[in-house]
Amino acid sequence: MQEQTSSRLTTQAKILAAARELFNEHGVESITVRHIAKKIGISHGNLCYHFPRKEDIIIALYQRVVEGMSAELGHFEPKEFRLKMLLGAMTASFRLQYEYKFLMIDFVNIMRRIPEIRENFRIIFEVRKQQFQAFIGALREQGVLLKTIPDAQYDKLLLHTYLIGDFWMSEAEILFVGEESAKAPFYADLAVSLVFPYLTAKGRKEYAEFLQMVK
pLDDT-based confidence at 214, cuts 50/70/90?
confident
Mapped onto helix, strand or coil, the DSSP state of residue 200 is coil
Phi, psi of 145 (to 5 degrees): -110, 145
Question: What's the rounded Cα separation, in Å, for the pair 12 and 99?
Answer: 18
What's domain 55-214's superfamily in CATH? Tetracycline Repressor, domain 2 (1.10.357.10)
Mean local confidence (pLDDT), 130-136: 88
- Mean pLDDT, range 140-161, rounded to an integer: 94
Judged against a pLDDT cut of 70, whether residue 176 lies above it is answered with yes
With 70 as the cut, is the pLDDT of residue 75 above it? no
Q: Among 3.40.50.300, 1.10.10.60, 3.10.180.10, 1.10.3720.10, name the CATH number for the domain at 1-52.
A: 1.10.10.60
pLDDT at res. 6: 55
- Judged against a pLDDT cut of 60, whether residue 112 lies above it is answered with yes
Q: Give me the residue spans of the domains in the chain.
A: 1-52, 55-214
pLDDT over threshold 70, residue 74: no
Q: In this model, does residue 138 exceed pLDDT 70?
A: yes
What distance in Å separates the CA atoms of residue 144 and residue 116, rounded to the nearest whole number?
38
| DSSP category for residue 144 | S
- For range 6-35, the mean pLDDT: 91
Q: How far is residue 195 from each of residues 29, 143, 150, 154, 203, measured CA to CA in Å? A: 36, 14, 14, 9, 10
Residue type, 14: K
What local confidence, expressed as pLDDT, does residue 47 receive? 96
pTM for the model stands at 0.88
